[in-house]
Structure 1
Amino acid sequence: MTQSSPVSKLNIVVVGAGLGGIAAAISCALAGHSVTVLESAKELAEIGAGLQITPNGSRLLKQWQLPQSLWDAAAIPTVITVHRYSGPVLAREEKFDKNILAKYGSPVADLHRVDLQRALYQRAIELGVTFHLGERVLSLETSKPRPVVCTQSGHQFSGDLVVAADGLWSKCREEFLHAKTSPLPTGDLAYRIVLTLDDIKSEKLREWVKNPEVHIWIGPGAHAVGYSLRAGQMYNIVLLVPDTLPQGVAKDEGNIEEMQALFNDWDPILTSFLKEVKSVEKWKLMHRQEMDHWVSEQSNLVFLGDACHPMLPYLAQGANSALEDGAVLGALLGEIKSKAQLPYALERYESLRKSRGEAIVRETFLQRRDFHLPNGPEQEKRDQIFLSQLGKEIKGAFPSRWTCPEVQPWIYGYDATKEVEESCANEPFPPA
């Protein structure tokens, strides 16, 4: 994808240098616009855990020509397995990597968040994007045609458009809605664990890490996901369990013994990995109510990612959807011939993205329900659906949306660039 030169070059201010913010910056820069990114952190964090980038996201990373080093640092899972919490296999897809590539033309790539953020940042810099770190938003003025972002350091940043990509605790959202609200707890929290090969003594476990697969263990009120990172040199585990954090506490240091006790009767493979953990953090999983609109009345502020549709991690779509948002926004802004067409581009962005983003949010809650069923008749019925298709081509609705033939295609098969091309071909923007 080469950089284009629109007739009318916009000055765009992106608030937030997370994955969605930098993705939007890249996409808008490729569309020929001038982009400035504001980030509250004083440096881009060298911390984080794993991400599963599914084909709807990985095809964008390829289109944006991210460096080969990113793909060298990926782990491409060859198999995906769903286990009953105690270990027995409920579902297993062999040749998962080959099947995904054949269906969607782009892989599932398991990446360390740091590697992806670094690669996006490097590409954005190559495209001329300017970054200002340590700039926390204080206020946002959008009542006039040219919006102004004021930061706590006393600086002001003005442009033709502000892109709010500042996450779950979005200050831009607060300013837009004229209300200070907190995210809503879901009742779950996540323990996030990353182990290196050096952390792992057991040769059997080391072989698990070196041969990338995805394993999901589902049990009463909880589930766990494990997969390799960095070409089989690291292992990422996410434990999704009932929330025990106090109200108002979003993140805290986890107690290892407490964490291990929650999984005492689970698969010995999983508990063996947990015995290698030296420290862990637990994160309260939260969500937000849907917003009525993602675009301001003045057509000078637009939202993307967790700032408007925060996603629970049950389908690994938070990062992928943020990448999609950035891609669609930039591609639409590449279609405008004058600044007078900006409102049409933003209206089209909301119409293309809002329903999909919110549908995926709802699907994550359905996946949580199906993975967390308490022992009993519903769980037995679910497991029978799993086992009746074990080793066969899956037909119809399936409890794991990762391989469900009704859900997987509309999530993984989405092509953000193609959607914009088809939309603009079918319904061009009105003349400026």
Structure 2
Amino acid sequence: MTTEPGAKQQPFKVIVVGAGLGGLAAAISSLRGGCEVTILEQAPAISPIGASIQIPPNAARVIQHFGLEQKLRDAGAIQINANHLKRYKDGKILCSRIGGEKMVRDFNGPWYVIHRADYHGVMLDEAVRLGAQLRLNSKVVDIKSSDAPQVVLEGGEVITADVIVGADGLWSATRDVVLGQPSPPVPTGDLAYRGTFSRAQLEAFQDPSIDELINSRCTYNWIGPDRHSVFYPVKNSTAFNLVLIRPDDLPAGSRTAAGDVDEMKMTYEGWDPVSVPYPFHTHTKLRTWVKDNIVLIGDASHPSLPYQAQGAAMAVEDGLVLGLLLGRLQTTERLPRGDQDKRAHINSILLLFESLRKKRTTTNVKGAIANRYMCES
């Protein structure tokens, strides 16, 4: 069946599995392109994992494209003045990259830091404002790709769509369907302690070196043997994020664990005193991101180590590009609807998406690995 000239096109029905940043970007971009979007999130409530996040210029350009930059600033995003790399023993600055307007001139976008929950809130609000149906407590237990793509929820409900987007992260169940086999991530050998401190807590030390850090609007990276640490402001500099990265000694299969302060102190004994668990996982390069009308994005398809601040940035880029392509196909004249031709058209767009994104994301993954060795050697 084909659409008659002048007939109203029925919008593509897009299911996004996972309400993380990449999934929300895919939802926003698809909605802007005229698609109908349902977001399935297995958690009973939205609670983003992780304390804070960096938004490098490429991700900031996605935010600008969505028209959300001012909302991001209003939510507490800080445009940083510089990135400083420091020696672990004494805090000496080894090199710096200037931020601010120079960053904008050099990379066509600002570099922001923000609390992850605030970033996520801006994206979620926009997706819902544009018409996304958000369904919480909706665990996907099966995905069927033959004929019309379907997801099966825990409890037996079946939802049919034109496109299924697997944005369910590092531990993706959608990836198992695309690959046709279990595909668990593998540990990288590193873990992180994460913490957020209020300005009042840090000012109470009455230490000039700490005051310099909290008043600079900069990011700091202390690098040393086998470990490094990261510090930067969030929430309009009323709070500060600290991440301490070291070798992983948690039991196999752990995703998070309760932190031990004494162990953390011992791990960083002898480091610059200003800087005094969460295991990292990754996945081998996938042979494909697409099966029929199912596509993977973000950490489900190309998980990146955190040493380049590009994991979430790549995910929101994925979401933007995928939505643009679906929107372009959505408005194609005389596009077949409701038959094999329609599914073939969508599949070709998903394969085009993979071909457009795979080289860039692979380059990023390799860059993050290289940065790991630079920071911890």
Question: What is the TM-score normalised by the length of structure 1?
Answer: 0.79
Amino acid of the structure 2 residue aligned with 1:42? P
1:370 aligns with 2:374: yes
After TM superposition, list the pairs within 5 Å mapping 1:27-426 onto structure 2.
Answer: 27-45=29-47, 48-66=50-68, 68-72=70-74, 73-86=76-89, 87-93=91-97, 95-144=98-147, 146-200=148-202, 201-203=204-206, 204=208, 205-271=210-276, 282-296=277-291, 298=292, 300-336=293-329, 337=332, 338=335, 340=342, 341-373=345-377
1:14 aligns with 2:16: yes
1:176 is displaced (CA, Å) by: 2.3
**Maintained 8 Å contact 2:178/2:289:** no
Instruction: Report the 3-state secondary structure (helix = DSSP H, G, I; strand = E; otherwise coil) of the residue aligned with 1:232.
Output: coil
Other-structure match for 2:3 = none
Provide, for residues 94-144 of structure 1, a one-character-per-residue CA deviation record: whole Å limited to 9, x for no partner. Answer: x42121111233210001110011101110111111011000111111022
CA distance in 1, matches of 2:10, 2:285: 33
CA distance in 2, matches of 1:152, 1:305: 24
**Maintained 8 Å contact 2:12/2:162:** yes
Instruction: Report the 3-state secondary structure (helix = DSSP H, G, I; strand = E; otherwise coil) of the residue aligned with 2:34.
Output: coil
**Maintained 8 Å contact 1:17/1:39:** yes
Instruction: Report the 3-state secondary structure (helix = DSSP H, G, I; strand = E; otherwise coil) of the residue aligned with 2:257.
Output: strand
CA distance in 1, matches of 2:194, 2:152: 34
Of 99-108 and 126-135, more deviation after overlay is shown by 99-108
Provide, for residues 259-282 of structure 1, a one-character-per-residue CA deviation record: whole Å limited to 9, x for no partner. Answer: 0111121112212xxxxxxxxxx0
Of 69-78 and 114-123, more deviation after overlay is shown by 69-78
1:151 is displaced (CA, Å) by: 1.0
1:153 is displaced (CA, Å) by: 2.8
Of 106-115 and 190-199, more deviation after overlay is shown by 190-199
**Maintained 8 Å contact 1:211/1:232:** no
Provide, for residues 28-75 of structure 1, a one-character-per-residue CA deviation record: whole Å limited to 9, x for no partner. Answer: 000011000000001101663111101110111121122734213012
Other-structure match for 1:24 = 26
Amino acid of the structure 2 residue aligned with 1:372? E
Question: Which structure 1 residue ranges, 4+ long, deviate > 6 Å from structure 2?
Answer: none
State percent identity of aligned pairs: 35
**Maintained 8 Å contact 1:210/1:231:** no
Instruction: Report the 3-state secondary structure (helix = DSSP H, G, I; strand = E; otherwise coil) of the residue aligned with 1:252.
Output: coil
Instruction: Report the 3-state secondary structure (helix = DSSP H, G, I; strand = E; otherwise coil) of the residue aligned with 2:232.
Output: strand
Of 179-188 and 336-345, more deviation after overlay is shown by 336-345
**Maintained 8 Å contact 1:85/1:219:** yes
1:283 is displaced (CA, Å) by: 1.0
Instruction: Report the 3-state secondary structure (helix = DSSP H, G, I; strand = E; otherwise coil) of the residue aligned with 1:344.
Output: helix
Tell me: CA distance 1:67–1:354, structure 2 relative to 1, closer, same or farther (3 Å). Answer: closer
1:7 is displaced (CA, Å) by: 4.8
Q: What are structure 1's unaligned runs of at least 5 residues?
A: 1-5, 272-281, 374-432
Provide, for residues 221-253 of structure 1, a one-character-per-residue CA deviation record: whole Å limited to 9, x for no partner. Answer: 111111111111111111111001011212101
**Maintained 8 Å contact 1:210/1:233:** no
**Structure having greater relative contact order (Cα 8 Å, sep ≥ 6):** 2
RMSD: 1.6
Provide, for residues 325-379 of structure 1, a one-character-per-residue CA deviation record: whole Å limited to 9, x for no partner. Answer: 0000011112111253323321210111112112211111111111111xxxxxx
CA distance in 2, matches of 1:31, 1:330: 7
Tell me: CA distance 1:316–1:67, structure 2 relative to 1, closer, same or farther (3 Å). Answer: closer
Provide, for residues 4-37 of structure 1, a one-character-per-residue CA deviation record: whole Å limited to 9, x for no partner. Answer: xx95520000000000001100000000110000
Provide, for residues 69-88 of structure 1, a one-character-per-residue CA deviation record: whole Å limited to 9, x for no partner. Answer: 42130121112211111122
**Maintained 8 Å contact 2:186/2:283:** yes
